[in-house]
Amino acid sequence: MSDLTLYDTDSSEETEPSLTLKLEAATKWEAKLLAEPKNRLALAALSTHASTAILQKPSALLHDTHVFSDQIELEGTPVTNQRSSGRCWLFASTNVFRVPIIKKYKLTGFELSQNYLFFWDKLEKANFFLEQIIDTQEEDLDGRLIQYLLQSPVGDGGQWDMVVNLVEKYGLIPQAFYPDSFNSKSSGRINWLITAKLREAALTLRSLGVSSKSGELEKHKAKVLQEIYGILVLSLGVPPKPDDTFTWNFHDKEGKFRSITTTPLEFYKENTGTVSHGAGVIDGVLGGGDRGGVAERFSLVNDPRNEYNRLLTVERLGNVVGGRGIKYINVSTDVMKSAAIAMIKAQRPVFFGCDVGKFAEGSKGIMDTNLFDYELGYNVTLDMNKAERLRTGESSMTHAMVLSGVNVVDGKPTKWRVENSWGAESGEKGYWLMSDAWFDEYCYQVVTDPAFVSKEVLNVLKQDPISLPIWDPMGSLA
């Protein structure tokens, strides 16, 4: 039996331990709390205003200004907006991809179609889920694994390796050829509909079982995928195919007319070689390194629960069957920062993943562990470290953005410039500021080119990965 005791913390008063909450104890706590003038003032302020407005520290706001020692000269424009969707990883990745395209074609502004990748990701995730259901027929329906797989089979979120899978198979296309639809900007309804259909299909596939006639499972899966394809087409629009030809007409910043005829796959292959440093890979570990580009890059993560310089993977996490699996190199935050700084100095934007909801203020676009004084307002401190927050579910990777600047003083970073995808009204015309202390506590991932890490780090890619269960915090999708 639990020995949980609720009692008055004033040791001068005797209290009788109890397993239940006693009204007398709450009355004493209230009297003690409101005996302090500060707490009465806090009651008046915090019960009528947002705590984030009341408890902001002016000193942090004065310190958090957008002046950086190193900044990417050509930041992508216009500022993007994912609207009411969880597509941050697709916006962050395409915001990275577009910078060298803007430079190559001398554009004043440019966006790649996030909706194009969104469409094919949904369909691929549906297929990936159904294959997982077929592969786990021996598992208990009420067990943790199946219940977790059923939670969010086609959620909007994703990871870097999943982006690579999409662009390697489907390519990229300018936004003008497949712009956002209502349902890509507000994805909740189609997510519900597809998820309901997939859950229904999961029960049918499990009932057919491993003893079904040859091809029965595959036929039912194909039928379900056809229905989901129909939902996506009717909700997002008819998508271009990877080998469809399109002609892109535009004027560059000098007013010169340009016309390019290509396909999504060719457009990807012709332009992403400039995204990477092109240093190649070691012993062909990554693959796709013959032309440089997106496929060379990989994720550094900081997970203090696990040993550093170890390769991690997450079981049953992905989007494309037979595609690149999820892999992370677990390193210290110093290694992540070093790679990010080197990339920024080389004029390369950096995809990164973090827990954006902690110690952040959206309208000002500030992420700073010193931003709010919760002890002053609520008489409490928050003392868990990064590993403890991961272990208890207090923190995980929830959002992907782009690093485009850093302020370095005496060889150490003090703050970072962040390109978000929440519109120009958020932050400093769409750009956020992250303190270096916030990076330490709530940044989990930096995607790097192999040229910007040591050979010791690169060699980690040769290891057999440590497999984390799909419900592990490192399996969360940004």
Number of H helices, E strands in the chain: 17, 14
Q: Is 302 assigned a catalytic role?
A: no
Annotated active-site residue in 88, 165, 330, 354: 88
Report phi then psi at 141, rounded to 5. Answer: -55, -35
Task: For residue 41, give both structure tokens.
Answer: 């003032």
**What amino acid is encoded at 336 in this protein?**
M
**What whole-number distance in Å separates Cα of residue 8 and Cα of residue 109?**
62
**What whole-number distance in Å separates Cα of residue 276 and Cα of residue 99?**
11
Annotated active-site residue in 115, 191, 277, 399: 399
Strands 399-409 and 412-419 come out as antiparallel
449 to 53, 235, 275, 362, 455: CA distances (angstroms):
39, 36, 9, 30, 12
**pLDDT band at 5; cut points 50, 70, 90:** very low
Report phi then psi at 250, rounded to 5. Answer: -160, 165
Q: Is 399 assigned a catalytic role?
A: yes
pLDDT tens digits, 347-356: 999 999 999 9
Annotated active-site residue in 183, 191, 302, 420: 420
Given this model, what pLDDT does residue 62 score? 82
129 to 125, 135, 207, 317, 318: CA distances (angstroms):
6, 10, 16, 10, 9
| pLDDT top residue among 167 and 59 | 167
What count of residues does the chain have?
Answer: 478
The CATH homologous superfamily for domain 53-77+297-477 is Cysteine proteinases (3.90.70.10)
pLDDT tens digits, 37-77: 999 999 999 999 999 999 999 988 888 889 999 999 999 99
Given this model, what pLDDT does residue 15 score? 56
Nearest to 239 by CA among 251, 248, 231: 231
Report phi then psi at 143, rounded to 5. Answer: -75, 165
**What whole-number distance in Å separates Cα of residue 299 and Cα of residue 286?**
12
**What amino acid is encoded at 205 in this protein?**
L
Report phi then psi at 243, rounded to 5. Answer: -105, 5
**pLDDT band at 363; cut points 50, 70, 90:** very high
Report phi then psi at 284, rounded to 5. Answer: 65, 25
Tell me how far the alpha carbon of residue 10 is from its chain's centroid: 45
Instruction: Please tell us whether the domain made up of 83-278 is placed in CATH 3.40.50.1970.
Output: no
Would 53-77+297-477 and 83-278 be classified into the same CATH topology? yes
Q: Which range has the worst mean pLDDT, 190-199, 202-211, 234-243, 458-467? A: 202-211
Domain ranges of the chain: 53-77+297-477, 83-278
pLDDT tens digits, 80-91: 999 999 999 999
Q: Is 379 assigned a catalytic role?
A: no
Question: With 60 as the cut, is the pLDDT of residue 286 above it?
Answer: no
**What whole-number distance in Å separates Cα of residue 299 and Cα of residue 431?**
23
Mean predicted confidence (pLDDT) in 7-14: 48
